Amino acid sequence: MSVDRLERVNALLRRELAEAFFRVFASEGLDLAAITVTRVQCARNLRNATVHVSILGHERERGSILQRIARRHGDLQALINRDCHLKYTPRLEFRLDDSIAKGDHILDVLSHLDSSDKPDSSDLSDPPDQ
């Protein structure tokens, strides 16, 4: 399978899974606003797909949320099979992706460094001697 087609299949699965989460978990009281499908890596033979999921906030509950998602993988695969016209419906494996949390941490550190480098307002009122 060409790389371009594989990238399009990954993008399709990512988009469809994001919508499927709302259908499958709508009545379970899961905080769907905190869950993001960040990346899908489908095997070249379309038999397996690794779904990277980011969960913002809920630091203590990330493992249990990921387990709840993994338990309902059959329902998610059924929706993918129904909505996507692929030769094979890939077997979904979910993994926690903490890249967004790491990015937020880096931005916080940079913001803190930027605010500590700014001069005080008292320094701005007195012009420097020339």
Give the per-residue pLDDT at 125. 54
Does residue 127 fall inside a structural domain?
A: no
Does residue 130 fall inside a structural domain?
A: no
Give the per-residue pLDDT at 103. 78
Does residue 112 fall inside a structural domain?
A: yes
Total domains in the chain come to: 1
Give the per-residue pLDDT at 127. 57
Per the confidence metrics, is the pTM higher than 0.85?
no
Does residue 121 fall inside a structural domain?
A: no
Per-10-residue mean pLDDT of the chain, 130 residues long, equals: 85 91 83 86 91 84 86 89 86 86 80 73 54
Does residue 45 fall inside a structural domain?
A: yes
CATH number of the domain enclosing 51: 3.30.300.20
Exposed e or buried b per residue across 20-53, where buried means at least 16 C-beta atoms within 10 angstroms of its C-beta: bbeebbeeeebeeeebbbebbebeeebeebbbbb
Does residue 125 fall inside a structural domain?
A: no
Does residue 123 fall inside a structural domain?
A: no
* Length of the chain, in residues: 130
Domain hosting 74: range is: 3-116
Does residue 52 fall inside a structural domain?
A: yes
Give the per-residue pLDDT at 48. 92
Q: What is the pLDDT of residues 21-54, one digit of tens each?
A: 888 888 877 778 888 899 999 999 889 999 999 8
